[in-house]
A and B are shown apart, each in its own frame.
Chain A
Amino acid sequence: MDPTALLLSRIQFGFTISFHIIFPAFTIGLAAWLTFLEALRLRTGRSVYRVLFEFWLKIFAVAFGMGVVSGIVMAFQFGTNWSVLSKMSGPIQGPILSFETFWAFTLEAGFFGVLIFGRDRVRPWFYLFSTAMVALGTTLSAFWIMVNNSWMQVPVGYVLQNGSFVPDDWTRIIFNSVVWSRFPHMVFAAYLTGAFCVAATGAWYLLRRKYQVEAMVMLRMGLFLAAVLVPIQLVFGHFVGDYVHDYQPAKFAAIEGRWHDEQPAAEVLIGLPDPATETNKYEIKIPVLGSIIASMSLTSREVGLADFPPQDRPPVLIPFATFRIMVGCGLIMLALAWLGSYLSVKRRLEQSRFLLWSIFLSFPLPFIAILTGWYTAEVGRQPWVVYGLLRTADAVTPFLTATAAMTTLILFGAVYVFIFSFGTYYIYRLLRDGPTRPVAWRPHDAVPDRPMPATNEGPVAAPSYISAGE
Chain B
Amino acid sequence: MIMFWVTLLAISMLLYLLLDGFDLGVGMLFGLTRSEDDRKAMLNTIAPVWDGNETWLVVIGVILWGAFPVVYATLVSAFYVPVVVMLLGLILRGVSFEFRNKSPRTRRLWDFCFTTGSLAASFMQGVMVGALVKGLQFTNGQYSGGVFGWFSDFSVLCGAGLCLGYALLGACWLVRKCESEVREVARRQIPILAAAVLAFLVVVFIHALSDNLPIMHRWIDRPYLFVFPAIGAIAAIVLASSILHRNDYWPFYMVSLMFSAAFGTLALSFWPYMIPFAITIEGGAAPPSTLAFMFWGEGLWVFPLMLLYTAVGYRVFRGKLGSMHGHY
Check A72 against B293 for contact (C-beta < 8 Å): no
Check A75 against B58 for contact (C-beta < 8 Å): yes
Shortest CB-to-CB span from B4 to chain A, Å, is 14
Q: Is A465 an interface residue (CB 8 A)?
A: yes
Shortest CB-to-CB span from B33 to chain A, Å, is 16
Check B81 against A404 for contact (C-beta < 8 Å): yes
Looking across the interface, which residue of chain B has its beta carbon closest to that of A408? B84
Whole-angstrom CA separation of A98 from B81 in the bound complex: 24
Choose from A161, A408, A452, A456 the contact partner of B287 (Cβ within 8 Å): A161
Q: Given A79-B75, A86-B73, A426-B102, does the pair A106, B57 have CB atoms closer than 8 Å? A: no
Q: Is A78 an interface residue (CB 8 A)?
A: yes
Shortest CB-to-CB span from B136 to chain A, Å, is 12
Check A79 against B72 for contact (C-beta < 8 Å): yes
Residues of B within 8 A of A466 (CB): 44, 47-48
The interface stretch among A36-44, A62-70, A224-232, A235-243 is: A62-70
Q: Is A216 an interface residue (CB 8 A)?
A: no
Q: Given A408-B80, A408-B81, does the pair A400, B302 have CB atoms closer than 8 Å? A: no
Among B62, B88, B94, max chain A CB count under 10 A is at B62
Whole-angstrom CA separation of A453 from B94 in the bound complex: 11
Choose from A69, A87, A97 the contact partner of B66 (Cβ within 8 Å): A97
Looking across the interface, which residue of chain A has its beta carbon closest to that of B289? A167
Residues of B within 8 A of A429 (CB): 102
Check B303 against A102 for contact (C-beta < 8 Å): yes
Q: Given A78-B65, A80-B83, A411-B88, does the pair A465, B328 have CB atoms closer than 8 Å? A: yes
Q: Given A78-B65, A452-B97, A467-B324, does the pair A90, B72 have CB atoms closer than 8 Å? A: yes
Check B99 against A422 for contact (C-beta < 8 Å): yes
Check B51 against A91 for contact (C-beta < 8 Å): no
Looking across the interface, which residue of chain A has its beta carbon closest to that of B96? A419
Looking across the interface, which residue of chain A has its beta carbon closest to that of B302? A102
Check A166 against B287 for contact (C-beta < 8 Å): yes
Check A105 against B55 for contact (C-beta < 8 Å): yes
Whole-angstrom CA separation of A168 from B294 in the bound complex: 14
Check A76 against B51 for contact (C-beta < 8 Å): no
Q: Is B52 an interface residue (CB 8 A)?
A: yes
Whole-angstrom CA separation of A451 from B76 in the bound complex: 26
Shortest CB-to-CB span from B188 to chain A, Å, is 25
Check A66 against B95 for contact (C-beta < 8 Å): yes
Choose from A81, A100, A106 the contact partner of B305 (Cβ within 8 Å): A106
Choose from B51, B58, B317 the contact partner of A101 (Cβ within 8 Å): B58
Check A400 against B48 for contact (C-beta < 8 Å): no
Q: Is A103 an interface residue (CB 8 A)?
A: yes
Check A69 against B303 for contact (C-beta < 8 Å): no
Q: Is B313 an interface residue (CB 8 A)?
A: yes
Total of A-B residue pairs, C-beta within 8 Å: 246
Q: Given A70-B91, A79-B75, A98-B298, does the pair A166, B65 have CB atoms closer than 8 Å? A: no
Q: Is A93 an interface residue (CB 8 A)?
A: yes
Among B50, B66, B143, max chain A CB count under 10 A is at B66
Q: Is A73 an interface residue (CB 8 A)?
A: yes
Q: Is A423 an interface residue (CB 8 A)?
A: yes
Check A455 against B49 for contact (C-beta < 8 Å): no
Among A69, A109, A454, max chain B CB count under 10 A is at A69
Check A465 against B101 for contact (C-beta < 8 Å): yes
Check B62 against A94 for contact (C-beta < 8 Å): yes
* Chain B 50-96 interface residues, beta-carbon cutoff 8 Å to A: 50-52, 54-55, 57-59, 61-67, 69-70, 72-77, 79-81, 83-85, 87-88, 90-92, 94-95
Q: Is A175 an interface residue (CB 8 A)?
A: no
Check B302 against A419 for contact (C-beta < 8 Å): no
Q: Residues 21-51 of chain B: 1 if any A CB is under 8 Å from the residue's CB, otherwise 0? A: 0000000000000000000100110011111
Residues of B within 8 A of A454 (CB): 98, 101
Q: Given A166-B290, A450-B47, A455-B98, does the pair A399, B76 have CB atoms closer than 8 Å? A: no
Residues of A within 8 A of B306 (CB): 102, 106
Choose from A72, A161, A168, A408 the contact partner of B54 (Cβ within 8 Å): A72
Choose from B49, B59, B66, B313 the contact partner of A94 (Cβ within 8 Å): B66
Whole-angstrom CA separation of A14 from B47 in the bound complex: 32
Check A465 against B65 for contact (C-beta < 8 Å): no
* Chain B 277-307 interface residues, beta-carbon cutoff 8 Å to A: 286-287, 289-290, 293-294, 297-298, 302-303, 305-306
Whole-angstrom CA separation of A434 from B289 in the bound complex: 52
Q: Is A149 an interface residue (CB 8 A)?
A: no
Choose from B72, B91, B146 the contact partner of A419 (Cβ within 8 Å): B91
Q: Is A92 an interface residue (CB 8 A)?
A: yes
The interface stretch among A196-204, A336-344, A441-449 is: A441-449
Q: Is B327 an interface residue (CB 8 A)?
A: yes
Q: Is B322 an interface residue (CB 8 A)?
A: yes
Q: Is A315 an interface residue (CB 8 A)?
A: no
Q: Given A102-B306, A167-B290, does the pair A94, B72 have CB atoms closer than 8 Å? A: yes
Check B91 against A73 for contact (C-beta < 8 Å): yes
Residues of A within 8 A of B289 (CB): 91, 166-168, 170
Choose from B54, B66, B87, B98 the contact partner of A98 (Cβ within 8 Å): B66
**8 pairs across A/B with beta carbons < 8 Å?**
A90-B69, A90-B70, A91-B286, A101-B62, A105-B58, A399-B143, A451-B51, A454-B98
Other contacts beyond A94-B66, A397-B77, A423-B95: 12, CB < 8 A: A72-B57, A73-B91, A94-B62, A94-B290, A102-B298, A102-B303, A113-B313, A401-B146, A447-B317, A467-B327, A468-B316, A469-B321
> Which residues of B are at the interface with A, using a C-beta cutoff of 8 A?
40, 43-44, 47-52, 54-55, 57-59, 61-67, 69-70, 72-77, 79-81, 83-85, 87-88, 90-92, 94-95, 97-99, 101-102, 106, 143-144, 146-147, 286-287, 289-290, 293-294, 297-298, 302-303, 305-306, 309-310, 312-313, 316-319, 321-322, 324, 327-328
